[in-house]
């Protein structure tokens, strides 16, 4: 019997609603589920979809071991997103408060890519087809 599996990253952030708004605005993510708010006013999980992929955001809760990149002093994971126009996505991300870590440019390995740190400390590789200069 073949078993289907799926992996869905969960990004730990201080404010899931603010992060959700960022990912919707900057990456075009669609919010597909939001859990009711907990006692502190934050939802325990907000699920998003981009194309055929999904990811979730949840609040930092140290007693559960859910620590944000700020709690850890950085992100131990790189999230890679392949898009039609890496430059446009990078511009949208930075316009919404992200920071360029490695500029998006044509790379010798045959991709156009760069690295962006979102406002919550998560690192994203934004990648796509090489851009030809006209």
Each residue's pLDDT, cut to its tens digit, for the chain (134 residues) gives: 567 888 899 999 999 999 999 999 999 999 999 998 888 889 999 999 999 999 999 999 999 999 999 999 999 899 999 999 999 999 999 999 999 999 999 999 999 999 999 999 999 999 999 987 66
Specify if 14 maps to a domain. Answer: yes
Specify if 113 maps to a domain. Answer: yes
Specify if 1 maps to a domain. Answer: no
Number of domain units in the chain: 1
Specify if 34 maps to a domain. Answer: yes
Which residue range forms the structural domain that includes residue 69?
10-128
- 17 three-state secondary structure: helix
* 14 within 8 A of 68, measured Cβ to Cβ: yes
pLDDT at 40: 85
Specify if 104 maps to a domain. Answer: yes
pLDDT at 37: 85
Specify if 45 maps to a domain. Answer: yes
Domain with 98 in it: what CATH number?
3.10.180.10
**Residue 77 burial (CB < 10 Å; 0-12/13-18/19+)?**
exposed
pLDDT at 38: 81
β 78-82/123-128 pair status: parallel
Specify if 117 maps to a domain. Answer: yes
pLDDT at 105: 96
DSSP state of 73: T
pLDDT at 60: 95
Give the closest residue to 98 by CA, choosing from 59, 63, 61, 69: 69
In the block, which residue shows the tokens 């006692």? 39
């Amino acid at each position: 019997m073949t078993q289907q599996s799926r992996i869905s990253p969960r990004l730990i952030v201080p404010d899931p609603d603010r992060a959700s708004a960022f990912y919707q605005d900057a990456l075009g993510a669609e919010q597909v589920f939001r859990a009711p708010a907990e006692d502190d006013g934050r939802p325990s999980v907000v699920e998003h979809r981009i194309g055929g992929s999904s990811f979730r955001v949840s609040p930092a809760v140290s007693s559960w071991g859910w620590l944000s990149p700020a709690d850890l002093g950085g992100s131990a994971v790189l999230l890679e997103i392949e898009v039609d126009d890496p430059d446009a996505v990078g511009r949208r991300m930075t316009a919404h408060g992200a920071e360029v870590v490695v500029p998006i440019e044509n790379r010798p390995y045959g991709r156009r890519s760069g690295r962006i740190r979102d406002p919550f400390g998560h690192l994203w590789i934004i990648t796509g087809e090489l851009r030809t200069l006209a």
